[in-house]
Amino acid sequence: MATREAQGLTIVRRNIGHAYDALWAEHQRIHRIHVKIVSRGDRKLERKLMRGKLEDSKYLDELLDHEERLTCPQQRSVLKLNRYGVKIENLMDALLKLNESASWGLTGGNRRTLSGHP
């Protein structure tokens, strides 16, 4: 019976890892779209903003400055993207909490993604 439980946990761990990785990829996709809108066709600015870290408050301030210069329709698009991004982050946080609250450590999926990103 112990091996069945271990197999079940392995499957759960793998599924959580895959779900987290998929959410992270979607979060990155949304961020790329956001930067593309904010940069308004300026390739140099787009590359600069893509190199920034979302954890950096200076970077976030710079993004906000650029967002304020957008037209109203563009600002609405960015707002919708931001709301969607927050929902994705909340799901990612829920997966991490599920991992932390479990008595077993998460070893399935991509460990770098699960521990390397906020």
**How do the domains of the chain map onto residue ranges?**
2-101
What does the alpha-carbon distance between residue 54 and residue 47 come to, in Å, rounded to a whole number? 14
Better pLDDT: 13 or 97: 97
Nearest to 15 by CA among 112, 106, 97, 118: 106
Instruction: Please report where in the chains the tokens 């770098």 appear, as a residue.
Output: 112
Residue 85 backbone phi and psi in degrees, to 5: -60, -40
Q: What is the pLDDT of residues 21-56, one digit of tens each?
A: 999 999 999 999 999 999 999 999 999 999 999 889
Residue 65: count of CB within 10 angstroms of its CB: 10
- The candidate with the shortest Cα–Cα distance to 10, out of 105, 115, 92, is 105
pLDDT band at 6 (very low <50, low <70, confident <90, very high): low
The pLDDT score that the predictor gives to residue 66 is 95
This prediction's pTM: 0.76
pLDDT per position as a tens digit, 52-111? 998 899 999 999 999 999 999 999 999 999 999 999 999 999 998 887 765 454 444 444
117 in Cβ contact with 24 (< 8 Å): yes
Closest C-alpha to 88, from 45, 10, 40, 27? 27
